Amino acid sequence: IGRSRGGLTTKIHMVTASDRAVVDFCLSPGQAHDAPVGRDLILSMKRRDEHHFLLADRAYEGDPTRLLFAELGYIPVIPPLRIRTEPWDYDKVMYRQRNEIERYFLRLKRFRKIFTRYDKLDILFTGFILFAIAIDAVLV
């Protein structure tokens, strides 16, 4: 559990293939930045030979993160921050599919134990997330 302005919080970082298929996930403290954890999560996955799109929000838009995604064979679809002096082009139609992961998180947060994070230990919280993922897969 990390401390942030919102109190004691934990972030769930997740890679999915669709709104029903979780590939991998990990936890980080609430005060930690998303990009380093996202890079580690992508590095832990099996490298693909063919090119796949990797959709991410603006928290992962830093140059090191985008370059790592490209080196690993992914096509990053990440919008630039508005304060960038030299913004890059990205596939806006493809980026709209990112709502699938947002919908998945909404379904996970229906479980009160995930929404409120009662567990003090990460292993217990991770176990319940896995349980919720399994329940969500059955309810299709």
Which pLDDT value is given to residue 8? 66
Residue pLDDT, tens place only, 98-111: 888 888 888 888 88
In the chain, % of residues over pLDDT 90: 1
Q: Give, in order, the Cα–Cα distances in Å from 56 to each of 2, 47, 69, 119.
A: 23, 18, 11, 28
Dihedral (Cα; 82, 36, 14, 70), 10-degree rounding: 70
Residue pLDDT, tens place only, 57-94: 888 888 888 888 888 888 888 888 888 888 888 888 98
Using the structure block, give the residue that is written with the tokens 């991770």: 126
